[in-house]
Amino acid sequence: MDRRRREFLFELLETGAPTGFETAAQRVWIDHCSDVADDVRTDAYGNAVAVHEGDPDAPTVVVTGHGDEIGFVVRRIDDDGFLHLSRVGGTDKTVSRGQQVTIRTDDGPVSGVIGQTAIHLRDGDDDEVAEITEQYVDIGAEDGDDARELVDVGDPLTVASGVEALEGARLTGRAMDNRVGTWSAAEVLRYAVENDVDATVKAVSTVQEEVGGNGAQMIGFDLDPDAAVVVDVTHATDTPGLAAKRDVDVALGEGPSIRRGLPDHPKLVDALRTVADEVDVPVQLEAASNTTKTDANSIFVQRGGIPSVNVGIPTRYMHTPVEVIDTSDLTGAVDVVAAAVERAEEFAPYAVEP
């Protein structure tokens, strides 16, 4: 991964933007896309779209990731100055206590910690994991009045961890889910522009995926593409203790996954598999049964059916502050999707033949 790509990825990952409060990360994404896109726009709720205008007779392909991340919100401030929480998205109660956090107020960031009673002071019953609503943040305030001068009810929080390089091509940090998807969409757009591909490419960074794919429902109808490629994280199952519980075999460093099943359109699956082989990028097949918890579920039912497919970035420890990816999987996903977009007209039309 070259320096430009790496700096863009790190900037996205280190920008806090929980569901419903995505503006900061969307601004980073828009700034990078504006360098190459023919048009960049946002909608009323902050979905961001960057466009490469291709041949009017060629297909239009949406490539999308979601820009929001899990987090917390301040539910109330007590008279002792502690902040009480609710979760935003699927925040994991088992890893939240003892974490440094950043409260994102209108006046700027405020630092805090989610309290954890010292092991010396706990008895056996205290080792049970408290619900998020029973956890609290200590910002060092003297009392409630002091805290309320700094923080408002409804302010969002994210864990304060950044990005760290591990061995080889691996990175760890929060918000891999799913800034790696928005990064991928932007990089495919850049490829389309630099190679003047015939297809019109609409790169998208959606909002509110972690609470039900709301942003994708809005934007899927509005964009009305011929096809949509949704890039999101997928569970890597190559860690200790998971062997008996694996739904699928997905490993870091073995390439992006291509999902097969509902709502993944078979012609798009075949297209991605074909170009992956031709550009010599390894891919992993992943079976889906009834549904996926990605924006593809929101997009494929729009306008009578938009052919859609999921491309997954294998990720360990999802929905924790230490998510781990292999950047070779990430760049591989861009290479495969970009190749499919470049040959979009060859694989069209995408409708199932009667």
Averaged pLDDT, 197-221: 96
Which amino acid, 254? E
pLDDT of residue 243: 62
- Measured CA to CA in angstroms, residue 222 lies from 51, 305, 348 at distances of 14, 13, 21
- Asked whether residue 187 is marked as a ligand-binding residue, the answer is no
Angstrom distance (rounded) from CA 134 to CA 76: 12
Q: Where in the chain is the domain with CATH 2.40.30.40?
A: 72-159
Residue ranges, comma separated, of all CATH 3.40.630.10 domains in the chain are 3-69+174-347
**pLDDT (tens digit, 9 = 90+) per residue, 253-283?**
999 999 999 899 999 999 999 999 999 999 9
Report whether 232 belongs to an annotated binding site: yes
The verdict on whether 187 is a catalytic residue reads no
Cβ distance 88 to 70 under 8 Å?
Answer: yes
More confident residue, 350 or 183: 183
Instruction: Output 317 or 117, whichever has higher pLDDT.
Output: 317
Question: Is 265 assigned to a binding site?
Answer: no
199 pLDDT tier (thresholds 50, 70, 90): very high
Fold of the CATH domain 72-159: Elongation Factor Tu (Ef-tu); domain 3 (2.40.30)
Could you read off the pLDDT of 34-62 as tens digits, one per residue? 999 999 999 999 999 999 999 999 999 99
C-alpha 342/C-alpha 199 separation (Å) is 7
CA dist 240 to 96, 171, 243, 246, 317, Å? 22, 19, 7, 11, 12
For residue 349, whether the previous peptide bond is cis, meaning omega lies within 30 degrees of 0, is yes
Residue 262: is it exposed, middle or buried by C-beta count within 10 angstroms (0-12/13-18/19+)? middle
The confidence band for 293, taking pLDDT boundaries of 50, 70 and 90, is confident
CATH of 3-69+174-347, one of 3.40.91.10, 2.160.10.10, 3.40.630.10, 3.40.50.720: 3.40.630.10
Q: Which of 187, 209, 254, 323 is catalytic?
A: 209
Q: How many CB atoms lie within 10 A of CB 139?
A: 18
To the nearest 10°, report the CA torsion of 253, 340, 197, 354: -170
- Is 342 within any annotated ligand binding site? no
pTM equals 0.96
Distance in angstroms (rounded) separating the CA atoms of residues 342 and 275:
10
Any known ligand binding at 319?
yes
pLDDT digits (tens, 9 = 90+) for 143-173: 999 999 999 999 999 999 899 999 999 999 9
